[in-house]
């Protein structure tokens, strides 16, 4: 399984909750998360998608901390099985573990 498979599963799961999983790019600013997840009720979070077992690179960790310091939720997703917990965490404003 590769990152693309995980990302497609995330998009489908978010759509099933009537939300959007927008591809997020920021020209000139490397290391930003892959997706901006928007759910009904004005809920938003950033998600970095990885292949199973892969971890955030140091620059991605830095960007994650920057976004979190601004009050945003930022998650790393490396397996489709973790999607329900991630989406519940976005709704509840907590940890996806």
Give me the DSSP letters along 31-94.
T--SEEEEETTTEEEEEEE--TT----HHHHHHHHHHHHTT-EEEEE--GGGHHHHHHHHHHTS
Taking the domains of the chain in order of start, what are their residue ranges? Answer: 3-92
In this prediction, residue 10 has a pLDDT band, given cuts at 50, 70 and 90, of very high
Q: Determine the length of the chain.
A: 97
For 3-92, the fitting CATH number among 3.40.50.970, 3.40.250.10, 3.40.1350.10, 3.30.230.10 is: 3.40.1350.10
**Using an 8 Å Cβ cutoff, are 69 and 61 in contact?**
no
pLDDT of residue 92: 92
CA distance 16 to 34: 19
**pLDDT tops 80 at residue 94:** no
pLDDT of residue 46: 98
């Amino acid at each position: 399984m590769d990152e693309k498979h995980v990302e497609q599963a995330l998009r489908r799961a978010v759509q099933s909750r009537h939300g959007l999983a927008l591809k997020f790019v920021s020209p000139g600013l490397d290391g930003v998360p892959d997706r901006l997840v928007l759910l009904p009720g004005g809920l938003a979070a950033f998600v970095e998608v990885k292949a199973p077992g892969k971890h955030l690179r140091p620059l991605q960790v830095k960007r994650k901390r920057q976004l979190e310091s601004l009050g945003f939720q930022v998650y790393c997703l490396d397996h489709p099985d973790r999607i329900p917990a991630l989406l519940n965490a976005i709704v509840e404003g907590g940890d996806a573990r």
